[in-house]
Amino acid sequence: MSSAYLGSDVADQDLAVDCQTTTSNSWSSVSQYALDQGGPELHPFQRLGADFTNIAAFEHLRSIVRQYPDKLAISDGANRLTYSQLLRSVETLSCQIAAAVPDGQAIGILQANSAWYPIAMLASMTAGRPSVPLNARDPGSRILEIVAGARLSAVLGEGNVRPDGLPHRVSWIDVSTSVASQAGQVSQPYSVSVDAPAIVLYTSGSTGRPKGIVNSQRSLLCRVQQYVDACHINSDDVFLPLTGPATIAGCREILAALLTGATLHLVEVEAVGLRAVQRLVRSEGVTITYLVPALLRALMADGPAEAFHSLRVARIGGEKVPWTDIALLRKAVSDTCLIQIGYSSTETTGSQWFLPRDWPEHGDSVPVGWLLPGITFAIVDEAGGRVQPGRSGELLIRSPYVLLGHWEDGAVVPATSDPDDPGFRIFATGDLVRLDDQGLLHIVGRKGRQVKINGRRVEPAELERVLRCAPSVADAVAIVAAATELVAFVVPRRSAEATFSDELRQLVRTNLPPPLRPLRLHTIAEMPRLPSGKVDITTLAEMDLSARETAATARPLEPRGKLTAQQVVQRAWTSILNTRVAAGRWDDAGGDSLKLLHCVMEIESAIGQELGLEAFTVGMSLDEMVKAVVSAQAGDQSARAERHNPPILFLFPGSVGYGPSLAAFAAAMGKVTRVAPIRYPALALILRGQNSLADMADAAVEQIRRAQPSGHVRLLGHSLGGAVAFEVAARLLAAGRTVKFVGILDTSLVGERSAYLETFTRTFNRIRTNRVSAYRMACRALAKVAVKMRREAQLVQLLDRYAQGQFNATSFRTKLELQEVLRARAFFQWLTEPKPALPITGTLFRCARPGMTLAIGWDRVFAHLDVIPIVGTHIDLVIEPHLATNRPLIEKAVAQTYSPTESRKLEYKSST
């Protein structure tokens, strides 16, 4: 496959920025050195070898699948795929891509951060079609602009509903349906060059429009090889990259995990919240993560003890890393965790190193490491000449691994090759850097106007273009303030109305991603200019500073007599946004979705209560945020929710608790019901005496009372949760509440006979298929022995006293297993106790249980019982592939209990 190459005036403008002439004697070569220097030098792993970048990613994947066919490859909470399932999915989808997309054309990927994204990316590479990842959280207008500019002929999406405005000529391919419906199809071997265009990543462009940066498989595999060889990544590692998939870092993390046999966990941080991420790191034993400094600060600021102690490597990149962030990270991780600092861009690799614990702090930010082998570089002044040692200049990189060029009108506009060696391409990074006397690279700043915000590259010209398109705007200029803040100035036309600023904010919201939305938007009478006619940036910066100081004194903080919620929100708002005043709307005040997650977590810590993320939006005002907190504290979720939101369904988890799989299941039910998870007393409370199923039921009743003080109640319980839901229903009925639905997800009241051989076989298969690890089973065995000897409290004391340092992860895992075993003991004790007969209908969702009665005991405790057969087993009935069959059955059963008014709300929501 060979993609068309052409020239373009628009693309040439960007390439003129990217490429800069320099004299041949300005280049310096980077000698080979051990990438694991200062890192995990003794950690076992398989070195990838010199030919790794010469072999296509699909061939590497096939090799891994032969070694680990039944090992868990990817999990996103709702979908879990083994390596053999991953390979079949990639093969199947690649066939459809090859058939739908002509050779040489690109295909879009519009996916959330789910298991389907890596499948789509790998299938595109396998078929030899360049993929164009589209950020699902970007405004629709920006996505459509990229679709048109890239001349996409098809998009790999999710679901069978096309996005509004997608041209009819663009095919819409639902990945999950395609993989399932053609599961038997095996791809033909495609001849794909590792030097052909493989992926096109769009970033903010200096022309004011997004620009597509083209990378080959060779350049992607080079990043993977350097990462693996530095961090000694192997099949025992568990990845949780905390970056979007439509980024070069996201691609590296995905490929590094899947081409080494590691397990890859994916999560939408903005959807699940920071606390859910903390729980996921702990529950899955994550060993490697990547994150940008802004997310690091939010995630580590209020993490529970030991939340990140399983981490072996924490890689930080995307922007300059302050020393204060390192101190924060050191407090959160174990002493053995390695901190890797990396510097790269979408166009090129750069530098990396492992930061020593005793490295002295100099300057505001951490050095970004040693330049990587395989590149030559130059640090040049404005004229292109070499700067003196220790002085700063622009970094130029010359390498066969830099970008191939830009994607313009469906083809590659090639980057300028080195005239002395056409196999090398030159990229001017735009970063001002210096090398210290130890050879470490320091980032000084940016050349020109481009900046990075939350790890995403931002070009102010793109904001200016959108503002100038507004009919009411005569002129617009965007500047970057000293604290890396994007600030806009607009001159209105005479026809502008009083709502001018609000309309512009809405225009920006609907056309640009969050990093390109200005922190402050100033309306001015005329644009200040220098005698040369250029915009006076210095005067604009002074105007912005003056306006900030005026705003800071215009509205003092509220007196102490206000509600506690008001004070809590104000304190969190001003702390996260680093302002003295809490006023206006969150995004207008400089907040984005990541800062909002941090703010919510600060509020949760202050009030001692978790909050539903659905109540918080980046466009909300201070007063709306206060109301959301007050409503949550009062348990008045109905007042907080939109009037068309569906009814609440309380979800009772099993003994493990509310984890990622149930959270993904709950999110998938969102169109039919609002799922509210119930939480049971944790280990500390269990050891203090709240150790019975009745205690769990009492805690659940209190949560229901707060969340839904009146109205019809609906309950759904899985495993242990089925028993708790039954007890809660009995309590609610006794209190005069109406219980409209009690759903039981495969809980048995009659017990299940199991021979020792069957138990052993089941446990062995769970270990073999990576549902549990042998290490986890050992921790569980220890917990069971302690419970059997009634020494659980003593075990916890021993763990707290002696299991420190490198044994912290073992302590945490053993406590989790102990908590689960104690909850299970309460369940089995409850089974032996007499139970009331409830005068309502129960609904049993029953998996196949050969040799057992259809009702498995529930017909004795309900006046009437509906039994609905479902697929899968007790432990995987709410994850794929079984979820696709079971979820509609559960939704239908719940919806059948809705009143006409509730059904109308559901219909309204479905139509919006």
Judge residue 302's burial from the number of C-beta atoms within 10 Å of its C-beta, 0-12 exposed, 13-18 middle, 19 or more buried.
Answer: middle
Tokens of 627: 């109301």
Yes or no: say if 173 and 154 are a contact pair by the CB < 8 Å rule: yes
The answer to whether residue 688 sits within a structural domain is yes
The answer to whether residue 675 sits within a structural domain is yes
Considering 402-416, 586-600, 773-787, the range whose residues carry the highest mean pLDDT is: 402-416
The answer to whether residue 275 sits within a structural domain is no
| Total structural domains within the chain | 3
Residue 562 scores a pLDDT above 50 = no
The answer to whether residue 435 sits within a structural domain is no
The answer to whether residue 877 sits within a structural domain is yes
Considering 200-214, 347-361, 624-638, 810-824, the range whose residues carry the highest mean pLDDT is: 347-361
Considering 40-54, 571-585, 748-762, 791-805, the range whose residues carry the highest mean pLDDT is: 40-54
**pLDDT tens digits for range 152-188:** 999 999 877 788 889 999 999 989 888 876 555 555 6
Same domain, 840 and 723: yes
Residue 2 scores a pLDDT above 50 = no
Same domain, 536 and 573: no
Same domain, 692 and 548: no
Average pLDDT over residues 801-817: 68
Q: Could you give the 3-state DSSP secondary structure of residue 112?
A: coil
Same domain, 740 and 655: yes
Yes or no: say if 281 and 272 are a contact pair by the CB < 8 Å rule: no
Domain at 568, CATH number: 1.10.1200.10
The answer to whether residue 867 sits within a structural domain is yes
The pLDDT value given to residue 706? 82
The pLDDT value given to residue 540? 87
The pLDDT value given to residue 7? 47
Yes or no: say if 329 and 340 are a contact pair by the CB < 8 Å rule: no
Supply the range of the domain harboring residue 673. Answer: 641-753+833-911
Average pLDDT over residues 219-240: 96
Residue 338 scores a pLDDT above 90 = yes
* Strand arrangement, sheet containing 72-75: 80-82, 72-75, 263-265, 238-241, 288-291, 313-316, 338-343, 351-354, 370-371
The pLDDT value given to residue 50? 86
Better-scored residue on pLDDT, 455 or 412: 412
The structure tokens 């970033």 sit at 203
Residue 23 scores a pLDDT above 60 = no
Judge residue 860's burial from the number of C-beta atoms within 10 Å of its C-beta, 0-12 exposed, 13-18 middle, 19 or more buried.
Answer: exposed
Same domain, 574 and 655: no
Neighbours of 818 (CB within 10 A): 25
Better-scored residue on pLDDT, 278 or 495: 278
Kindly indicate the confidence band of residue 558, based on its pLDDT and cuts at 50, 70 and 90.
very low
Domain at 494, CATH number: 3.30.300.30
Buried b / exposed e along 551-573 (16+ C-beta atoms within 10 A): beeeeeeeeeeeeebbbbbbebb
Same domain, 861 and 725: yes
The answer to whether residue 5 sits within a structural domain is no
Residue 9 scores a pLDDT above 90 = no
User: Distance (Å, rounded) from C-alpha 511 to C-alpha 489?
Assistant: 18
Cis bond before residue 881 (omega within 30° of 0): yes
Same domain, 520 and 576: no
Same domain, 732 and 868: yes
Residue 453 scores a pLDDT above 80 = no
Kindly indicate the confidence band of residue 791, based on its pLDDT and cuts at 50, 70 and 90.
confident
The pLDDT value given to residue 757? 47
DSSP 51: T
| Mean pLDDT, all residues of the chain | 84
Better-scored residue on pLDDT, 622 or 816: 622
Same domain, 593 and 508: no
Q: Could you give the 3-state DSSP secondary structure of residue 106?
A: coil
Domain at 691, CATH number: 3.40.50.1820
Which of 554, 584, 610 delimits the end of a domain?
554
The pLDDT value given to residue 457? 66
Which of 491, 520, 554 delimits the end of a domain?
554
CA angle 207–209–211, rounded 5-degree value: 90
For the chain, how long is the longest CA-to-CA vector?
91
The pLDDT value given to residue 884? 86
Same domain, 602 and 714: no
The answer to whether residue 885 sits within a structural domain is yes
DSSP 111: E
SS3 content of the chain, % helix, strand, coil (to 5): 40, 20, 40
124: enclosing H helix or E strand: helix 116-127
The pLDDT value given to residue 765? 56
The pLDDT value given to residue 803? 62
User: Distance (Å, rounded) from C-alpha 714 to C-alpha 547?
Assistant: 52
Least confident among 70-79, 179-188, 474-483 = 179-188
The pLDDT value given to residue 411? 92
Neighbours of 672 (CB within 10 A): 21
The pLDDT value given to residue 445? 77
Average pLDDT over residues 128-132: 96
The pLDDT value given to residue 554? 45
Same domain, 669 and 626: no
Better-scored residue on pLDDT, 910 or 738: 738
The pLDDT value given to residue 821? 92
Better-scored residue on pLDDT, 545 or 482: 545
The pLDDT value given to residue 868? 95
Query: How much of the chain, in percent, has pLDDT values that exceed 70?
Result: 85
The pLDDT value given to residue 618? 79
The pLDDT value given to residue 486? 84
Q: In degrees rounded to 5, what are phi and psi of residue 618? A: -70, -20
Which of 528, 554, 580 delimits the end of a domain?
554
DSSP 371-400: EPTT-EEEEE-TTSPBPPTT--EEEEEEET
Q: Are strands 263-265 and 338-343 parallel, antiparallel or unpaired?
A: unpaired
Q: In degrees rounded to 5, what are phi and psi of residue 800? A: -65, -30
The pLDDT value given to residue 447? 75
The pLDDT value given to residue 396? 94
DSSP 163: P
The pLDDT value given to residue 620? 84
Yes or no: say if 314 and 340 are a contact pair by the CB < 8 Å rule: yes
Same domain, 744 and 660: yes
